[in-house]
Structure 1
Amino acid sequence: MPTLKFSFAGIISTVVVGLLITSCDPPPAVRFTDEALITGQASPILIQPDTTVVNLEDYVLNVAAIDSVSLPSGLSLTRNQVEVKVFGTMTSKIGTMNVWNHGQAYGIPLQKVNKTNVRFTYRGIATEVKTKGEFNAWNANSSIFTKAGDQFELSLWLTPGNYQYLFVIDGKEVRDPAAKDSMDNGMGKYNSLLRIPRPDPAKVVQVISKSFTPSTITVALTHPAKEVTVYWKNFLLEGKFLQQTDQELTITIPAQAKEEDRSFIRVWAANDEGISNDVLIPLQKGEVVQNASQLTRQDKEAQVLYFMMIDRFQNGNPTNDEPVKDPTILPKANYYGGDIAGVTQKLKDGYFQKLGINTLWLSPISQNPKGAYGKYKDPATTFSGYHGYWPVSLQQIDYRFGTKAELEELLAEAHKQNINVILDYVAHHVHKEHPLVKLKPEWFTPLYLPDGTINTERWDDQRLTTWFDVFMPTLDLRKPEVVGPMTDSAMYWLEKYELDGFRHDASKHIDLLFWRELSKKVKSKVKRPIYQIGETYGSRELVNSYVNTGMLDAQFDFNVYDDAVNAFARNEVPFTRITNS
């Protein structure tokens, strides 16, 4: 058999197939009692140096079905109905938290976080000293120094990596006088740079898919692995399922996998230097997927997204064109006429198939206001709601974009071509013309803060309450009484239409309560695969905090994007900036 190689797009997991190897041993006679306690693949839990809090509802819809929870050596726990607190020091770098139901263990991967205690100091005359940077999502109010003798001090636990940061001395941003390194921030100024050495990638064990037979998979190990964890679905494979040498690991595929149209093998390894990459191997009826033609639009990991702002894409129905009649809006800030019918036209033309696209991401289509709002100085203009991000209704399709029948036609045509459609959904705010603003004013955050300052564009220090503009009230999604109906509004689109998921706007400005509630409703009420991807500008830890089995499937990595833009567009920025991102 020739060696075949392909990779899933959008997920850092590798799917590689290769030459047959011989194996005479039958699969172990083990049968897993699969009551699907965990919906989807359990995402890894990062075990912190002090205490790690695990929300069990992120993994198990019915937590009452959990009989017990067990942890690897070195760790202990306390548990209430929905929350586990993990204490102690994990003696291994990787491991498994088992949740038990009727004698069957369901495994949740664990990874020990390697953190360093970093001490910042400032010697100088000041009343208040703070720091803001990539390590705290640029929120200075979360990192305030204490006065100790003749200096100010702050200690933070940080993972290995490079961090840009600044001090804030009595409200003024300055570089750290004690910092040895600085870095161009891409906007004409420099930030201080903290470097915490990462594991040496040349010494960390890497897992590389190598070969397979109808009943086994062999992966190569670039260095001897002291630890390995392998899962089929959410079941830890041990004992006779694994045969390991210094150079490779052979995994016996459970015979039970033949009963599943699609299931996955996942592999991690670790040595003294660090934790390997993860390898995701798709199975079809228990055999390794060999060809991309075997993938369907339901394979979340294989999505290739195409984003379009509907108004600017294709005008398929000129009869619904209606630019805002306001002379303060320049033509480029007004409606162009693109609509849902235009997207369907291009689908039927084969445009997206020729590009190799299998997922369309539509800009918001809910009703927006008819007037002009906002201001831009140069060139002077106001704006229409052509972009769709100013909803005055959470369920009505904007007539300038189309009708229910046109959206249903688009979805039917896309699905006929094995193409997903995900909708850009705005949960964070509404436009001031939305009826809720008058009906439920207590559902919104105040425009002015207690100190009298206006709470607009306070992206970091007022992350969950800030307004984007004075005509865009922010929903207070920290309140359960607001989260309930707002998640119901999002569910409307999935229950009314055969949409395949959401791209969520402004994810970092929405409390985790909303994402947990929405994902719980999706899993319990929608019986088809749903993909949710978010938008978060901020630290890597902040971006990661929204991604797990019970919240979002993925987030866009704007940190890598910003580093890539600087490396590609500016001669003085080296490509190592992307490597170190």
Structure 2
Amino acid sequence: MIRKIFSAILLIATVSYSQISHDLIHPVNLNQDGITGIVLSDLFYSSSYDIELHLNENVKSWLNEKGDSILFQPINDFTGLTLVSFKLGIDQYEIPVKLNKTKKYLFTYKPTPTDKQVNLFGQFNSWNRQTLPMKDANKDGTLEIEIPLDPGRYEYKFFVDGKELIDPENPVKVSNGLGDFNSVRVIEEETVEKIFLHILGKEENENGLKLKFYFENLDRSNMVKPESVIALFDNQMFPSDQIEINGREIILALEKKNLVGDHSIRVAVNRMGKHSNIQTIQLHDGVVAGASGKRTLHDQIIYSIMVDRFYNGDTSNDNSVQNDSLFAPANYQGGDLQGIIDKIEEGYFGKLGINTFWISPIVDNTNNAYREYPAPHRYYTGYHGYWPTSSTKVEEKFGDMDLARTMVETAHTNGINVLWDFISNHIHEEHQFWNEHRNWFGKLELPDGGKNLRLFDQYRLTTWFEPYMPSFDYVGSIDALEFMTDNAVWWLSVTGADGYRHDAVKHVPNEFWRMLTKKTKSRIEVPLNRKLYQIGETFGGIELINSYVNNGQLNAQFNFNLYDVAIPTFLDEKASFKLLDYQMQKSFQVFGYNNLMGNIIDSHDKIRYMAYADGDLEINDGRSKEIGWTKPPQVDNRSSYDKLKLHLAYILTIPGVPIIYYGDEFGMTGAADPDNRRMMRFDSELNEFEIQTLDDVSKLIHIRNDHPALRYGDFMSLQVDESIYAYLRSDTNERVLTIINKNPNEQRVELTIPAVYQINEAENLLTQNVFSVYDNQIKLSVEGISCLILTIY
């Protein structure tokens, strides 16, 4: 019956869509040691994938036997950037393909006589214990393995006959939050030639639009050659007769007739085996994004709401779970959908500057309490929404489907998009599916008699989170796959929401996300000309996270790799911003400068930032859960609010999508779950420091809203050391310079701005003070634990 309901509601005409205009084909990062395979639907959406690949002198490409994937292999010692062409229908399109070779580093382990199998594992391979076996190739008694690593900080261990061991030869180790330690290795950046493609600006005239760029490298005697310029108009080659090169300046001319609609211009310089950054300019009817008035996914500032903990707008639906062993922090506390509506209508989010909600799951959950599997086995309820007992009903303690629609409509009326939180990995055992469709789910028991519980890396696609939370087996059940992807589309269709935050993405196979996204594009995005946003949650290495981020699966994931480096960098006075900048550059290499990855400082699954900033907890503190129950943190130091604002200034000025977890805007503290999910406070419930923090954070959010360079611009690091992180972001509208000082003391900063920018003045966006700039030098002082955000012109 449920499936028939879905079929009736989702019977939307599917548009024939052979031309690739809905998606911008992302660059493919090649594997330096072998073949790289890409599923065609991950590159672009189309009703047909009957493509014809063209020859490329640097990269061999061919279709697999099924014809649904392209295989790439570099030839002739290729490095840099090239375009692989293919024909679809009567049109030719281009796939940007790039290879940046990475130096390999040696890891060694001296085994004992009884050690049989030793594998290396760590952040660099998403903690996979099987893929990096170590060997004694030269028979000297020492096991070795070489792996390619970019500059950065890496945690790792050895997996010895089923046991996890730290590196006995490496004294540097950190807590892993699980009662043990990980070894740490830092790879420093070697001296390399820096090349960068700058945006100079735009020139509008009666014939159309000109976009101007400037190529910079150390060897100033080499001018840009036409064959070095790679330029694309959407997914097709930019006409060579409309590219003008003057020394190092590149001008792309766009005729007026080609400016109608939404388009993207991409340009880079490739020379001597290296390539510059790829500059991307979005146009809306010939007007550059950020100045066109059209909102895109890059404009999102997401506010994360846990419904039960936000605001009680309707006391009539309050009905906490009764259990003698249940304590208040793990029970329902009264928040509901009406409470969110009330705060929208009061103008709370408008004043704050929020334009997108991520709403915790509103699907119906169990009305009973259950014991958590890990010790000390406390009782919890489904207040958080992640224990679903229905696929179509709204949790009655939050409201009903009519109220959910009303909330979405109210949000839209106030310029706010809504992302629901969708649970595809599991259900609660009280869900009817557990009895009716037992074959849709995997088994809790392992072949060796053990329990497949919380083995998140060892059994990534089959592990259960709790004994009462059956995990779907999508590989073994096409019916489960079809139903749950239809279910996700159904929720969007009946509520009018704008996308999803997806839970536990890495525990769900790629096939699920491909089927879901194909359905959302064919049934909603293409026929209705809407852009949905889907962001996922995956804890793991950057390659694993990226395996889900493409046109055929998810728009983005939370950038936990950047988060993991940023937290200790900001909180440790002696930690250099170099490691954070390394990870930032790695993110650009993998996801691009103009990515939609989610940037957080904490979340409902993470310790609150203020608990770290105030010194209540160490990073990855294994005591955090118990401290939350027995000695909940309180903010004691005024300077902790400054540390919070500094980190928020950072995520609000870097590429990606900033995400504000409810309460972060005024400095709410909290240890691990459930202490990090305290009831939200407003108005008179805030102290004077929280009120000031709320005002300051609102100003930071509005600065991002008001300045398109912070949403669409490139990224250039100007100063990176233990105290200062200074970076410049430019688009064709403006340039914005951010200077972060985490040192408690005032710091004197002298920055050199590229001469081609011809900067004369700078304005402090926080104070509106304007000062002159001479000889491309910005010299100023930055107060302790503070930042400056400047427009320069």
**Same structural fold, with TM-score higher than 0.5 when normalized by the shorter chain:** yes
CA drift of 1:60 comes to: 4.2
CA drift of 1:63 comes to: 6.1
Alignment of 1:403-418 (within 5 A): 403-418=400-415
CA spacing shift, 1:194–1:269, aligned 2, 3 Å: farther
| Secondary structure of 1:457 counterpart | coil
Higher helix share: 2
CA spacing shift, 1:111–1:487, aligned 2, 3 Å: same
CA drift of 1:68 comes to: 0.8
| Secondary structure of 1:294 counterpart | coil
The residue aligned with 1:295 is 294
The residue aligned with 1:280 is 280
The residue aligned with 1:112 is 99
One of 166, 174, 180 as aligned partner of 1:184: 174
Alignment of 1:204-243 (within 5 A): 204-214=195-205, 215-223=209-217, 227-243=228-244
CA spacing shift, 1:200–1:207, aligned 2, 3 Å: farther
Q: Deviations over 1:450-499 (max 9, x none)?
A: 12221111111111111111111111122334311111111111221211
Q: Which stretch shows the higher mean deviation, 199-208 or 511-520?
A: 199-208
| Secondary structure of 1:398 counterpart | coil
One of 108, 121, 130 as aligned partner of 1:121: 108
Q: Which stretch shows the higher mean deviation, 529-538 or 561-570?
A: 561-570
TM-score by length of 2: 0.64
Q: Is the 8 A contact 1:456 1:466 kept in 2?
A: yes
Q: Is the 8 A contact 2:312 2:336 kept in 1?
A: yes
TM-score by length of 1: 0.86
Give the whole-Å Cα distance in 2 for the aligned partners of 1:368 and 1:510: 21
One of 68, 76, 93 as aligned partner of 1:82: 68
The residue aligned with 1:47 is 30
CA spacing shift, 1:101–1:470, aligned 2, 3 Å: same
The residue aligned with 2:542 is 540
Give the whole-Å Cα distance in 1 for the aligned partners of 2:287 and 2:45: 29
Alignment of 1:76-475 (within 5 A): 76-79=60-63, 80=65, 81-89=67-75, 91-125=78-112, 126-146=115-135, 148=137, 149-151=139-141, 153=143, 155=145, 157-162=147-152, 163-177=154-168, 182-185=172-175, 187=177, 191-196=182-187, 198=189, 203-214=194-205, 215-223=209-217, 227-260=228-261, 262-272=262-272, 274-289=274-289, 291=291, 294-296=293-295, 299-375=296-372, 381-475=378-472
Q: Deviations over 1:195-235 (max 9, x none)?
A: 55657576132433533324111123232667433222222
Q: Deviations over 1:510-560 (max 9, x none)?
A: 111111111111111113211101111111111111111111101111121
Q: Deviations over 1:254-288 (max 9, x none)?
A: 5443321x322223334458443333322121232
Query: Which amino acid in structure 1 is aligned with residue 62 of structure 2?
Result: T
Q: Deviations over 1:2-23 (max 9, x none)?
A: xxxxxxxxxxxxxxxxxxxxxx
Q: Is the 8 A contact 2:102 2:149 kept in 1?
A: yes
Counting aligned pairs with the same residue, the percent is: 32
Give the whole-Å Cα distance in 2 for the aligned partners of 1:315 and 1:98: 56
Q: Is the 8 A contact 2:24 2:44 kept in 1?
A: no
Which structure 2 residue ranges, 5 or more long, are not aligned? 1-16, 218-222, 584-793
| Secondary structure of 1:565 counterpart | helix
CA spacing shift, 1:177–1:275, aligned 2, 3 Å: farther
Give the whole-Å Cα distance in 2 for the aligned partners of 1:464 and 1:516: 16
Q: CA RMSD in A?
A: 2.7
Give the whole-Å Cα distance in 2 for the aligned partners of 1:85 and 1:154: 30
One of 40, 44, 56 as aligned partner of 1:72: 56
Q: Which stretch shows the higher mean deviation, 133-142 or 421-430?
A: 133-142
Query: Which amino acid in structure 2 is aligned with residue 428 of structure 1?
Result: N
Q: Is the 8 A contact 1:221 1:246 kept in 2?
A: no
One of 482, 485, 497 as aligned partner of 1:484: 482
CA drift of 1:319 comes to: 1.1
The residue aligned with 1:29 is none
Q: Is the 8 A contact 2:18 2:47 kept in 1?
A: no
CA drift of 1:404 comes to: 1.5
Q: Is the 8 A contact 1:344 1:410 kept in 2?
A: yes
Which structure 1 residue ranges, 5 or more long, are not aligned? 1-33
What is the aligned length?
543
CA drift of 1:400 comes to: 1.0
1:573 and 2:557 equivalent? no
Q: Is the 8 A contact 2:79 2:273 kept in 1?
A: no
Q: Which stretch shows the higher mean deviation, 229-238 or 538-547?
A: 229-238
| Secondary structure of 1:135 counterpart | helix
